[in-house]
Structure 1
């Protein structure tokens, strides 16, 4: 009998590909992206396409097998469409050495579906996207890998 290592497919856990068009959907995306890490090089703003995207290394909070194989991360793209402007505080764009940690993604409604998406970062950093409408996707783009810390992030109550 030959022995074969388990594969990603054996876990019956598929890669995420989620969309958010309203505040309730965005809460789910925010929870799944919490504690994702990225650098200034992992941010892309395409004004002509009205798109802002982050390449994240996110915790697999949805992973039901974490007790079996330990905490995992996966690279994901967090994409925002209908973006009119981007502003940031405490963020060095293009800095490959500074690791940023995403705490939450929230929407502040304006008029007629427009508003601001606020990405709150650890250490008092933030990114504010002025959007014509809320249109967000979170898509896993690699296979999961063992979290380098071998621990799940914890937040004090």
Structure 2
């Protein structure tokens, strides 16, 4: 029986990364590409002005190491938190269907006036989550140990 991987196996630490400017957001976006999450793990706390997702993220940072060692790919549960959120809207997803599983493709930033702007979470299948924010405040934090990717394959994006 295969045993789940541990951060200690690779002398790695869980990711805990903040994006506070448009230069660091692409790094967070690349790390959450192909993260999957049930729609029920999407929360907006209006009083705290925080939006959070609990995602099962593919460990892109470990892909090359897994291939060189001939071991399966890994995923890890991570919290993706956005602060200073003034509003949330969705497009192309049925928020009433609790069984929906979403796949995050990318996060983009459109700057507005005085540091405000819109974060767009692009989802597979033409869905999107848009956050109107007072400033860019995104944190990605791994919250579990890595586990074997159920598919045992790396996500692919064939050129069209």
What TM bracket, shorter-length normalisation? over 0.9
Shift of 1:156: 1.4
Match of 2:22 in 1: 23
**In structure 1, how many angstroms separate the alpha carbons of the residues matched to 2:83 and 2:96?**
21
Shift of 1:91: 2.0
**Deviation readout 1:99-119 (Å, 9 max, x if unpaired):** 100000000000010000000
Match of 2:33 in 1: 34
| Residue 7 to residue 115, structure 1, CA distance change in 2 (3 Å) | closer
Q: Does 1:66 align with 2:66?
A: yes
Structure 2 residue runs without a partner (length 5+)? none
Matched position secondary structure for 2:114: coil
Structure 1 residue runs without a partner (length 5+)? none
Shift of 1:6: 7.5
**Deviation readout 1:50-103 (Å, 9 max, x if unpaired):** 000000000000015312221100000000000000000122336331110000
| Residue 150 to residue 46, structure 1, CA distance change in 2 (3 Å) | same
Matched position secondary structure for 1:148: coil
**In structure 1, how many angstroms separate the alpha carbons of the residues matched to 2:13 and 2:74?**
14
Match of 1:98 in 2: 100
State TM-score, norm by structure 2. 0.91
State TM-score, norm by structure 1. 0.93
* RMSD over equivalenced CA pairs, Å: 1.5
**In structure 1, how many angstroms separate the alpha carbons of the residues matched to 2:5 and 2:104?**
31
Matched position secondary structure for 1:62: helix
**In structure 1, how many angstroms separate the alpha carbons of the residues matched to 2:155 and 2:5?**
26
**In structure 2, how many angstroms separate the alpha carbons of the residues matched to 1:65 and 1:154?**
17
Matched position secondary structure for 2:57: strand
